[in-house]
Amino acid sequence: SDRKVGLCSCLEVVSTTSVTWNVKKTGYGNGENFQEKTVWIIDTGVALDHPDLNIDTQRSQSFISGITTAEDNNGHGTHVAGIIGAKNNTLGVMGVASGAKIVALKVLDQLGEGRLSSVISALSYIRQNGKAGDVVNMSLGLEGISTTLDREVQTAANLGILFSIAAGNDAKLASGFSPARLNHSNIFTVSAVDSTGRFASFSNYGNDAVDVAAYGVRILSTYSNGRYAILSGTSMAAPHVAGLLLIKGINIPTSGTASNDPDGVPDPIARASKTQVAAAVVNN
C-alpha cells in the first residue's frame, strides 16, 4: 500500500525585517548569481506569489491527485524556501542563497501529509528536468525503509543532483528512516542544533546516516499568505545546507561540532568560519 510521509513543526507568526541569526551564523551568498541552477523543494508547495521569494512558477507543480497547483496551503514548504533563498531586499528575511531560483513540487497537503507515490513522482520529474549542480531539499521522510524511495533519490544523486535531507524529528537513529538513511557523496542528511550549537532534543542522530548538523530551533522564515513565522525541526536545518550546496557545491563549509550529540560522535555544523560564504549586501 502507498505509505504516508509527513513532517512536524510548531508555529509562531511574526513580522520582521532582518538578517536572522541563523543565516548570519551559517553564512550566506547571492543566489541570484546561480540562476543557471535550480533548487527543487519537495514539500507542501510554496506560496507562489510571496514577494520575498524567486519562484519558477512555470516548472512548479503538484503531484497530489486532485490538486492542480503547487500553492502552499500549509506554510511548511514556504518556510523551507525562505531559509534557502529569501531575497536580499527590504522585505522580511534573507536566505542563505538569497534570490535562488526555486521550483515548488507539492507532495504534501494542508495537513503536511502525503503519499509516497507523490514523492516518487516528484523525484522522477526532477530526474527528467534537473541537471548536475541543481539542489533538492527534502524536509520530509518516513519512519521505516522504502527501497523504492531510496533508489529514486540515489538515481538522481548519481546524475550529479545534490540533496539536502532532514534527518527527522523523532530523536531516533536516522538509519531507520528513508531517505535520511542514504549514504552518497551528493546526499547530505542533516540533524538540527540550536543557536548555541547544542544538539536539538527532537533531532534524529547517528553517524552512519547523518552527515552534518545545521540550525533548526526557532528559525524565522517566510510563511504562507505573505507572512513570516518561527518554526523548529530538522525540516528547518536541511534548507540551510541546501543553500550552501547551491553556492558552494558539495564542499560545504563546516565549523565546530554539535554539543550533546546522542551518538557520541558530534556532527560537524554547516556554517562558514567567517560571517559570509560569499559577499552579499545585507537585506537593505
The sign of the dihedral angle between the CA atoms of 196, 199, 202, 204 is positive
pLDDT at 200 over 80: yes
- Quick check: helix, strand or coil at residue 204? coil
What's the rounded Cα separation, in Å, for the pair 27 and 47?
25
Radius of gyration of the chain (CA): 16
- Judge whether residue 114 has pLDDT over 50: yes
Question: Residue 15: its pLDDT value, please?
Answer: 53
Average pLDDT over residues 167-187: 98
Q: What is the arithmetic mean of pLDDT over 107-112?
A: 96
Confidence of residue 4 (pLDDT cuts 50, 70, 90): very low
Inform me whether the pLDDT recorded for 17 exceeds 60: no
Averaged pLDDT of the chain? 91
| Confidence grade of residue 37 (pLDDT, cut at 50, 70, 90) | very high
Catalytic residue chosen out of the listed positions 9, 62, 76, 98: 76
pLDDT at 227: 86
Concerning whether 9 is annotated as a catalytic residue, the answer is no
Which residues, 6 or more positions from 65, have their beta carbon under 8 angstroms from its beta carbon? none
Burial of 281 from C-beta contacts in 10 A (0-12 / 13-18 / 19+): exposed
* pLDDT for residue 194: 98
Pairing of strands 113-115, 4-6: antiparallel
Predicted confidence (pLDDT) per residue in 64-100, tens digit: 999 999 999 999 999 999 999 999 988 889 999 999 9
What does the domain layout of the chain look like in residue ranges? 4-270
Contact yes or no for 164/137 (Cβ under 8 A)? yes
What superfamily would CATH give domain 4-270?
Peptidase S8/S53 domain (3.40.50.200)
Residue 38 neighbours by CB under 8 Å, 6+ apart: 56, 59, 101, 102, 103, 130, 131, 134, 135
Kind and range of the H or E run holding 116? helix 116-129
Kindly state the cell numbers that stand for 83: 531559509
Residue 284 has pLDDT above 50, yes or no: no
Question: 19 pLDDT band (50/70/90 cuts)?
Answer: confident
The pLDDT of 98-125, averaged and rounded, is 97
Q: What is the mean pLDDT of residues 48-68?
A: 97
Q: Assign residue 261 a region: left if phi > 0, alpha if psi is -120 to 50, beta otherwise?
A: beta
Contact at 8 Å (CB) between 41 and 77? yes
Alpha carbons 53 and 143: distance in angstroms, whole number: 31
235 noted as active-site residue: yes
Which listed residue (121, 235, 261, 267) is catalytic? 235
Q: DSSP of 136-180, one letter per residue? A: EEE--BEEB--HHHHHHHHHHHHTT-EEEEE--SSSSBGGGEETT
pLDDT surpassing 50 at residue 283: no
The reported pLDDT for the residue numbered 159 is: 98
Based on the residue annotation, tell me whether 267 is a catalytic residue of this protein.
Answer: no
pLDDT reading at 276 higher than 80: no
Q: Which three cell numbers stand for residue 90?
A: 527590504
